[in-house]
Amino acid sequence: MPGQRTTQVSDVRIETYTGPRRELRALFELAEDSPAELDGYLALGRVLVARLDGHVVGHLQVVPTERPGEAELKNMAVLPRLQGRGIGRALVASLVELLAAERVTTLLVATAAAGLDNLRFYQRCGFRMRSIERDAFTEATGYPPGVVIDGIELRDRVWFDRAIPARRPGPPSPGPDGAQGGGGQHEERGDGVGADA
């Protein structure tokens, strides 16, 4: 339609989130089926958000692990109407840049073995499979029984990791505060997923 504008990843600004975590709970719930698990980690670590016209349209949460030089991407999501346009990838790119400046060398992430889209997403973001945790998603940890994703029962967890490249010396690059993140690296999809935000 004339006058309509397709949202581009370059319209999105990525920054550190400092507001109340409860205001992001609905976004966290897009990536977490267990309210009990989410209660246990919602307040932890740091959160980057993607903002479009000032509104939060995506987030990721990073937490430290017990091992030095290592961090875990604990939860991330993009609003469904804006998925598939590179915002998730831009969030991960901003996180990698942030962690590189902090001399973190390894980033972990875990996701359901049943979530084929997520398995693809993380591998497209440079992660490689590390291990399988069988029967991780059980009623005991607050996951409802009988959840099926992509026709596969929600049961096992896949751990991924990716190396964080050491930051090259040079002029400081824009970080997640005050700059668009990762947009310039995004290859536009050619499958017509763009739509109005």
| Interface with ligand COA (CB under 6 A) | 30-31, 76-78, 83-89, 111, 117-118, 120-121, 124, 189
Residue 103: CB minimum distance to ligand COA, A: 25
Tokens read off for 145: 């029984």
Cβ proximity to ligand COA: between 71 and 87 the closer is: 87
Neighbours of 11 (CB within 10 A): 18
Dihedral sign of CA atoms 191, 160, 157, 94 in order = negative
Residues in the chain: 197
- How far apart are the C-alpha atoms of 36 and 143, rounded to whole Å? 9
Contact 9, 183 (CB under 8 A): yes
Cβ proximity to ligand COA: between 104 and 125 the closer is: 125
Cβ proximity to ligand COA: between 89 and 164 the closer is: 89
Residue 75: CB minimum distance to ligand COA, A: 7
Residue 63: CB minimum distance to ligand COA, A: 14
Chain residue whose CB lies nearest ligand COA: 88
Cβ proximity to ligand COA: between 98 and 121 the closer is: 121
Residue 125: CB minimum distance to ligand COA, A: 7
